[in-house]
Amino acid sequence: MRSTKKITISAMMCALSVVILALGAVFEALDLTAAALASICIAFVYIEVGAPYTFIAWICTTLLSFLFFPQSLLWIEYLLLFGLYPILKGYIERLPRLLWWPIKIPLYNLCLFLMAEGMSFILGVDFFGIGGDWSNIFSMGSAIWWESPLILWIVANVAFLAYDLFLTMIVRVYMLKYRPKLQKYLK
């Protein structure tokens, strides 16, 4: 594939990702859903174009979503988790299958930690309600059990497992059903 096509595909997927993220920024109840859907575009660029363009599309999508919607936290979620994860997933799944989850779970928790600290530090938003004191993550001091930072962390990890399976299924459907039909256009 010529570099002109690679740049064009990357730019189109970047634009589509920004539109999807814009929907998440406008309708804040859909921010995580929008970020997950926008990550499919990055997975498409990873599959069809390759590594350097995937990173460029991820950074451009993040910068554009920050420039267009700086008041929304969506750009941080996309930067540290949803935009980056499909790229890392592609590299991790080249390793032997037994290593996938022992690498994915700590990597996700690191990204979640960085996202929570970034929101706390840069934006002044307390992501897990612990005020930057991670020793309080195991406290059940709140009156309602689902407000506990530990419960939120567990729910976030379960949601990550669902997101990973969702991304795997979408990529598999694309590879088996749609990629053969699109190959003549992507050469």
d(CA 52, CA 140): 45
Is the pTM above the cut of 0.85?
no
Sequential DSSP letters for 112-159: HHHHHHHIIIII---SSSSTT-GGGGG---SSSGGG-HHHHHHHHHHH
For every one of its 187 residues, what pLDDT tens digit does the chain have, with 9 covering 90 and above? Answer: 788 889 999 999 999 999 999 999 999 888 889 999 999 999 999 999 988 899 999 999 999 999 999 888 888 889 988 999 999 999 999 999 999 999 999 999 998 888 878 777 777 766 655 555 555 555 555 545 556 677 888 888 999 999 999 999 999 999 999 999 888 887 7
For the chain, the structural domain boundaries read 3-182
* Alpha-carbon gap, residue 67 to 60, rounded angstroms: 10
CA–CA dist 184, 162 (Å, integer):
33
